[in-house]
Amino acid sequence: MTVPVRPLRFADAREAADLAAFLGRLLHYDRAAAVRLQAGGGALAVFGRPPSFEVLAIRTARLSGDHDFDVTVSAGELLESLDTDGDGDSAGAGVLPAAVTGPPWAGMLPPRGGWRERAGLPGPLDLRTRLTDAVAEFRSRDAALPEDRRTRAERDLIGRDIWSRTVGETELPLRAVHAAQSLGFLRQAPDLPVALLTAGSWLRLRTPFGSIALRGAGGGLGTLAVTVGTV
Q: What is the residue-wise DSSP string for 177-205?
A: HHHHHHTT-S-S-TT---EEEEETTEEEE
Return the SS3 of 173. strand
- pLDDT attached to residue 102: 85
34 close to 103: Cβ distance less than 8 angstroms = yes
Task: Please check whether residue 224 lies inside any domain of the structure.
Answer: no
Helix (H) or strand (E) holding 81: helix 75-81
For residues 10 and 100, membership in a common domain is answered with yes
Write out the residue range of the structural domain in which residue 65 sits.
6-107
Say how far apart CA 186 and CA 183 lie, in whole Å.
8
For residues 88 and 123, membership in a common domain is answered with no
Question: For 215, what's the count of Cα atoms within 13 Å in the CB-facing half-sphere?
Answer: 15
- pLDDT attached to residue 46: 98
Task: Work out how many domains the chain is built from and give that number.
Answer: 2
Binned at pLDDT 50, 70 and 90, residue 84 comes out as confident
| Of 212, 177, 184, residue with least CA distance to 197 | 212
Model confidence pLDDT, tens digit, residues 90-136: 568 899 999 999 899 999 999 999 999 999 999 999 999 999 999 99
**222, pLDDT greater than 60:** no
CA of 52: how far to CAs of 7, 43, 117, 188, in Å? Answer: 32, 28, 27, 22
Q: What is the pTM of this model?
A: 0.88
For residues 17 and 93, membership in a common domain is answered with yes
For residues 121 and 211, membership in a common domain is answered with yes
Say how far apart CA 211 and CA 59 lie, in whole Å.
7
